[in-house]
Structure 1
């Protein structure tokens, strides 16, 4: 290649503009020709106008409706003398998940260093950058508080996040390996304090804790000597079982979820839908690919029926028709419990189709190679097929989670006052009736939904970047 050709090639690869200063960037990107200059000026005028109007509306609008209904927006009609349960369970969850996630991050950091990969210790500033939308929304809502306890509680919560992360990172490796069981057990205790120990909560939480402890840790220490593996696997199971026995023996009465409301209920319904729908969806996706006609037929019928019916119709069915199908001798589950089950099954049907698309994207040759090496069908699914399938469908999966988060507003149709419904309730109160404050209340609702949905989207992109989704 001649010098002239090399010069032309380097010129083609060089950036079009050298934006060494902000002024040069503005000139080269916004005012580089007449058309772009006109568009920039017009859009600039529109943006300035909207900003000025927004500030004028914020300064002059009646925000008393938010101050009066602040507790309704956040926790619904939760009794004042029972609020200690909310704060206690919140700090338990913050502590256990802060310690658990920091321990898992430290394990991943050590693993990357052992493999010679570039690893960076997560900082508190990085954590703030990841979750700033949610933190900003919490700060916005706390700014409407007329009492000191919510402000102190939020500040203490932020301090608990920092402290738990530091503690989790400093734990020895032997304890850090138990991060997942610790989080499961912490969730059990937190839910027992908040909602009581009876019924579905204790049973489901106990099953989840024991399954995670038994399967997750046995896989982690697979190949270790039998005694060590037995201790590391059996230890969390025993701890989880003892925790369940103690919690049920104490018999926390709690404050059942039938009386929950506001953002608290919306987030809980979302977490239940995701946590319950995910494993059911995986089983349905695998079952739809089964060669057994009965299993495949059941999965196909269930998925296609649920996906072909609006969620609101299923919620109405669970509220008005389903109780009539129970025999008189059987106690009918409460309204919100039935709604939670419907949301979980509805989410599972959509997740199943997303995962099925990921399973089809895994090359068949990898499965055949694993079979040729003597691996069992369960190991092939768990170690080869499912990790690749889940990695490929992260964007679609998170999109479904965001959609589910917004769809929880439909439970208002069966008489449950969640986050969105309290906007209408606030505007119908005698003190605010006829004042046309819908823009105020629904703006707060919109900001709340956006903050959590955008955070989930950011975390999805971060996970995609870490796993190299879409990168060959």
Structure 2
């Protein structure tokens, strides 16, 4: 099927629709700067804090070959190759600086690069005369939903977990109420609420908030509730003796929480945390139910084209492959991080 019977022309002919949806052709340039920035930040970080294995090099090579075979045409070919060169060069630079006295400074640059990635992408995709967020679709929509919700849900979830463990009853009961209320309903119901109910609760000065922004809000709140429970388990795993010892030497609550308890708690729950984030990535496909033009809905829409009727397997297999690539990459990065931090070892 993959080599002989598959009608893969449906992918090549609809590559822009599958990856960008209805995003205007004259605004596609906005997608490339964040992509090149991601290649730089990822390559530099991997060079400083890890090392590529042969399997990972083969995996990255297959991804590049896949992009060139199915996606890249004309200018896109040059940009895919440029992203590959930037990622490879930044990885080599990171490896060279890793064992020098400039390793700390290089690590700071990598952290700043990651911190600037989301604001850069947001400004280019949603500001300075950018098209409406409702025009974002395809694979790009899934990436935007997951990236923004993931970034926002981590601090919110940690804050809810700390609030639930607080000694102040008002704060604790408030956080418990939020967590249990959100977890009591399935994500699909919350997504429908983002479409029909949430607009009535948003302040009037915000105006007509786009559906995609409302979905991001719901995904953030939903994921934050589950992350809060994961982090709470990590907080409970920290021996109370360490807290008592810190209090005995005169350390304050803030110092104990953020410098002793929280780092150990987060380290202990990395596997569960990444599992939840992978689940968030896959759950972005649910937005197709409310009419958002994500990768799954675009894959279904291609079947209405007369020349490609009867080719659902090829398009759905392609969509599944795209979701798997991202989920597998997150899983591999998680295992590398666990090995670096010694999770599961004494």
**Same fold per superposition (TM over 0.5):** yes
Q: Helix, strand or coil for the counterpart of 2:334?
A: helix
Partner SS state of residue 178, structure 1: helix
Q: Of the candidates 430, 441, 453, which is equivalent to residue 327 of structure 2?
A: 453
2: CA distance, partners of 1:183 / 1:137 = 22
Confirm or deny: 8 A CA contact 1:134 1:451 kept in the other structure.
Answer: no
Match of 2:115 in 1: 184
Take 1:392 and 1:58, find their aligned partners in 2: how far apart are those partners?
44
RMSD (CA atoms): 2.4
> Which of 237, 243, 255 is matched with 1:367 structurally?
243
Q: 1:410 to 1:278 in 2, by over 3 A?
A: same
- Superposition deviation, residue 155 in structure 1: 1.3
* 1:429 shift after superposition: 2.3
Checking the alignment, whether the CA contact within 8 Å between 1:89 and 1:194 is kept in structure 2 is no
Distance of 1:351 and 1:452 partners within structure 2: 20
Contact 1:67 1:144 in 2 (8 A): yes
User: Residues 320-331 of structure 1: matches in 2 within 5 Å?
Assistant: 320-326=196-202, 331=207
Post-superposition shift, 1:92? 3.0
How far apart are residue 356 of structure 1 and its match? 0.5
- The CA deviation string for residues 362-418 of structure 1, in whole angstroms up to 9 with x for no partner, is 111111001111111111111111111111111111110111110000111221111
Quickly say closer, same or farther: Cα 1:255–1:138, change in 2 above 3 A: farther
1:457 CA displacement: 1.4
**Which residue matches 1:426?**
302
Tell me the distance in 2 between the aligned counterparts of 1:394 and 1:326: 34
Give the structure 1 partner of residue 80 of structure 2. Answer: 154
> Which of 416, 425, 441 is matched with 2:315 structurally?
441
Q: Give the whole-Å Cα distance in 1 for the aligned partners of 2:202 and 2:266.
A: 38
Q: TM-score, normalised by structure 2?
A: 0.90
Distance 1:256 1:329, change over 3 A: closer
1:323 deviates by 1.8
CA separation of 1:263 and 1:130: change in aligned 2, threshold 3 A: same
Write the deviation string for residues 340-381 of structure 1: whole angstroms up to 9, x where unpaired.
Answer: 010011000000001111111111111100111111111111
Query: Which residue of structure 1 lines up, in the alignment, with residue 195 of structure 2?
Result: 319
2:250 is paired with a residue whose SS is coil
Give the equivalent residue in structure 2 for 1:282: 158
Report the CA distance between 1:141 and its aligned residue: 4.2
Q: Does 1:380 align with 2:256?
A: yes
Matches within 5 A, 1:276-315: 276-315=152-191
Q: Are the aligned partners of 2:23 and 2:135 in contact in 1 as well (CA < 8 Å)? A: yes
Q: Deviations over 1:222-271 (max 9, x none)?
A: xxxxxxxxxxxxxxxxxxxxxxxxxxxxxx32334332111111112111
> Unaligned regions of 5+ residues in structure 2, if any?
none
How many positions carry a matched residue from both structures? Answer: 341
Q: Note closer, same or farther for the CA distance 1:182–1:403 as it changes in structure 2 (3 Å cut).
A: closer
Structure 2 vs 1, CA of residues 93 and 57 (structure 1 numbering), >3 Å: closer, same or farther? closer
The alignment status of 1:350 with 2:234, answered yes or no, reads no
Q: Is the 8 A contact 1:102 1:166 kept in 2?
A: no
1:420 Cα offset (Å): 1.7
User: Structure 2: how far apart are the matches of 1:329 and 1:340?
Assistant: 19
Q: Give the counterpart of 1:410 among 279, 283, 286.
A: 286
The residue correspondences of 1:63-462 to structure 2 (distance < 5 A) are 63-99=8-44, 101=45, 105=49, 122-123=50-51, 125-126=52-53, 129-130=55-56, 133=59, 136-145=62-71, 147-168=73-94, 172=102, 175-176=105-106, 178-179=108-109, 180-185=111-116, 187-196=118-127, 252-326=128-202, 331-433=207-309, 435=310, 437-462=311-336
Q: Which has the larger radius of gyration?
A: 1
Distance in 1 between the 2:295 and 2:42 partners?
24
Deviation at 1:77, TM superposition (A): 1.6
Choose 79-88 or 369-378, whichever is displaced more. Answer: 79-88
CA distance in 1, matches of 2:43, 2:82: 14
Structure 1's unaligned 5+ residue stretches are 1-55, 106-121, 197-251
Aligned equivalents of 1:168, 1:284: Cα separation in 2: 36
| TM-aligned CA deviation for residue 169 of structure 1 | 5.4
Scaled by the length of structure 1, the TM-score of the pair is 0.67
- RCO (CA 8 Å, sep 6+): is it higher in 1 or 2? 2
Q: CA deviation at 1:302?
A: 0.9
